[in-house]
A and B are shown apart, each in its own frame.
Chain A
Amino acid sequence: MSGSPPPPPAKLDVLAQANRRAKGKRPWFFNDPDVERVLNITLALAMEHAVTRQRLDALERMLQSKGLLIRAEFDTFALDAEAEAERTRWMKTYIARVLRIVQQSSEAASDDERGAEPAMDDLINQLRGESAE
């Protein structure tokens, strides 16, 4: 597609160079730098999401200008029952995938409450003890 970059100059590691940090001690503003790292990743994703939306918008406008699509129909587009169910399944799967860590955290919390899971150190020591017997 037209948006894909042309091949880079032979010698230069373009990916590494494009991402290179600026010399100078970086300030971290949150108490936990990990949170700020996640913020940076999230913001980059937000930007790439915006890029995709802009590209989709460009595509729709181009299709409309060629008479292949009527954009207003997006808003009145009616689904039959089967299509609706299919899209709902997709949405549900998508949300579960994105929020995986939330589900896993609550699973872990309830396992913890039941005392179902020993600490990994304890488990290692337990298993070491078993193998020594």
Chain B
Amino acid sequence: MGQRENPPSWAHVGRHAAFPQAAHDDTARFDFLANLNGFLAGALSPQVRHAYEHDVRPAYEKEHGQAPENRHQVRRAMAGNPTFALWSALRRASMEMRQQAGRSLVLHQLDALIKASAALNADSPRLLLDPSVQVPRYASAVDIHCMPGGYHTELMENDVSAAANYDCGIFATTGGMLGRFNDGGGQALVKWLREAHPNFAPRRVLDIGCTIGHNIVPMALAFPDAEVIAVDVAAPMLRYGHARARALGANNITFRQANGESLDYPDGHFDLITTAMFWHETSAVAMPRMLREIRRLLADGGLTVHLEQPQYAGMDPYEQFIRDWDAYNNNEPFWSVMHEYDLPKMMASAGFDPTTYFETRMAGVVDREIFPVASSSAEDHGRAALWTAFGARKP
């Protein structure tokens, strides 16, 4: 998490017909949280690093004759450090408060939200729910990033509350860095595709683990003639995602309840398969299975690309440790495992030709409507979300 100046007020969040209505005080709560997060990242986080370098690491070196070599040694050494404890306690509290703020906002108007989504979804052949789809253990063992009930819990019939809560909180959690519609990741994928493969116009696109579809809507809008399938295991996300896509004018996405580990499309059906911020929420069994499934579903000449947080390899042990915080303290258990994988090897094991593997850094497309000040500079230091994108091409 980089340093940010002033995060934009939540008043600038992108609204659509399925989005919750917010009162003055709801906006003020999200603004408080965005600025609290800014303080924790900008002011307190450097003090945590300072505590490590000036107290914890020297003490460790004295005891062990060498500095910690990996993030687990750093984590054990940092346990009990008062600066780290304070930063962590505030960060955890901030996450929980964000959930409470979003859920109270959403649940008070749940009937209206269900009606709004239902109206947008009415009789659509592009919303395919399947109650027989099981929520896999990796999505149900804990509530991912401390969202009570996770992605999948339904409090009433046709529930969209988990999704509306997710949608309205991202802007506060990220300080607006993903844009008004939280789609900076999806926009980055489109931008990259246009630049790296200017002649590639996908006809059939698959997005796995789409949640509310915020990262696939930009692709669907960029290629309006493409047939887009977005799958997820969580029905509330799909109901809301379909309504949201409609409301934003993306009419070529079919939202389908299905597990990406096994899909019933024929071999070679898709020429573009994407995920965004998805793998770290899966498991060591599911991820290779899905990569093999992607290999099967990809057409000759097709492309698969995945947006993720950067891998740990090459980072110093402290940097790895601090990025691992979410795994241990924000209910993202597979985060820790996934970020140490050898991705080229995983892709090769899934059957992709290693010579077609690629990996690149991708920055979130900055939303000029909310960050106008940065519009003249070439690089928005600390504001642009920075990810790793990896993938392969099927020859």
Contacts and interface: CB of A to CB of B under 8 A. Distances in A.
A binds B: yes
Interface of A: 2-3, 5-6, 8-9, 11-12, 14-15, 17-24, 26-31, 36, 39-40, 43-44, 46-47, 50-51, 54-55, 58
A20 B149 contact: yes
Nearest to A5: B108
Given A22-B99, A50-B28, A54-B28, A9 B150 contact: no
Minimum-distance CB pairs A-B, first 4: A24-B142, A18-B104, A22-B143, A54-B28
A14 B224 CA distance: 40
A51 B10 CA distance: 13
A23 B31 CA distance: 26
Contact of B24 (A6, A28, A54): A54
13 contacts: A9-B111, A14-B108, A15-B104, A17-B107, A22-B99, A22-B148, A23-B143, A24-B142, A29-B85, A39-B93, A43-B36, A51-B29, A51-B32
B28 A8 contact: no
Contacts of A50: 28, 31-32
Nearest to A35: B89
A101 to B, nearest CB: 21
Interface of B: 23-25, 28-29, 31-33, 36, 80, 84-86, 88-90, 92-94, 96-97, 99-100, 103-104, 107-111, 141-143, 146-150, 155-156, 328-329, 331
Contacts of B142: 22-24
The DSSP consensus for interface residues of chain B is helix
B107 A18 contact: yes
Contacts of B111: 9
Contacts of B107: 8-9, 12, 14, 17-18
Contacts of A15: 104
Nearest to B27: A54
Contact of A12 (B99, B100, B110, B143): B110
Contacts of B85: 29-30
A95 B84 CA distance: 32
Nearest to A27: B329
Contact of B23 (A2, A27, A28): A2
Contacts of B99: 22
Contacts of A58: 24
A14 B88 CA distance: 28
Nearest to A24: B142
Nearest to A16: B107
A18 B93 contact: no
Contacts of B149: 20, 23
A2 B92 CA distance: 31
B24 to A, nearest CB: 6
A2 B100 CA distance: 20
Contacts of A31: 80
Given A3-B24, A47-B97, A20 B148 contact: yes
Nearest to B94: A43
Nearest to A39: B89
